[in-house]
Amino acid sequence: MSDLDDTTIITFSLNIFLGNDFGQMNDHKENMKLALEEARKAGEKDEVPVGCVITDEGGKLIASAHNQTITMADPTAHAEILALRQACGERKNYRLLNTYLYVTVEPCVMCMGAIIHSRVSRIIFGTYDSKWGAAGSLYDFSEDRRLNHHPEIISGICIEECRALIQKFFRNKRC
């Protein structure tokens, strides 16, 4: 095989790789927009605006929820927990193998625990949470080898929009 052929093959493979990557990034943004819609619903109820959706690996939506701790008088009613319950109900299974969880803000210590228990394969989040974040900020449970499941983490999807929403909420609270 000549050098030219090698180059052609490499370029072709690279384009396929980039093409797939680009397509997947678009899907991530689309699903994060759905999570942002959920977050806004929480904000309208004067709840901390965090939203979450769960899809299967093919992109089919299986759950969507927003933070409702005050409304439900329940400290565990974070967007992720409510979405996990919905998805498990949908699948009639306490394991959520081959699913992606999208959330506008980095999951907290409680939610990361629940996500790991449920075996979600990938977590895609928007903005970081330096106070509670357990997917890279304060802790990184996804990398803790003492735990038996390690979801893949993708961060910073629609970060500006996700961050602006939460910052605006807390700024208004202080006024």
**What residues act catalytically?**
80
Q: Between 92 and 131, whose beta carbon lies closer to Zn ion? A: 131
Report the distance separating Cα 102 and Cα 100, nearest Å: 7
**Two tokens at 90?**
């949908």
- Residue 7 beta carbon to Zn ion: minimum distance, rounded to whole angstroms: 49
Q: Between 27 and 117, whose beta carbon lies closer to Zn ion? A: 117
**Residues near Zn ion, by CB under 5 A:** 78, 108, 111
Q: Between 108 and 116, whose beta carbon lies closer to Zn ion? A: 108
Considering only CA atoms, which of 63, 76, 150, 68 is closest in space to residue 109? 76
Residue pointed to by tokens 């005050």? 70
- Residue 154 beta carbon to Zn ion: minimum distance, rounded to whole angstroms: 18
- Residue 78 beta carbon to Zn ion: minimum distance, rounded to whole angstroms: 4
Q: Between 68 and 99, whose beta carbon lies closer to Zn ion? A: 68
- Residue 116 beta carbon to Zn ion: minimum distance, rounded to whole angstroms: 13
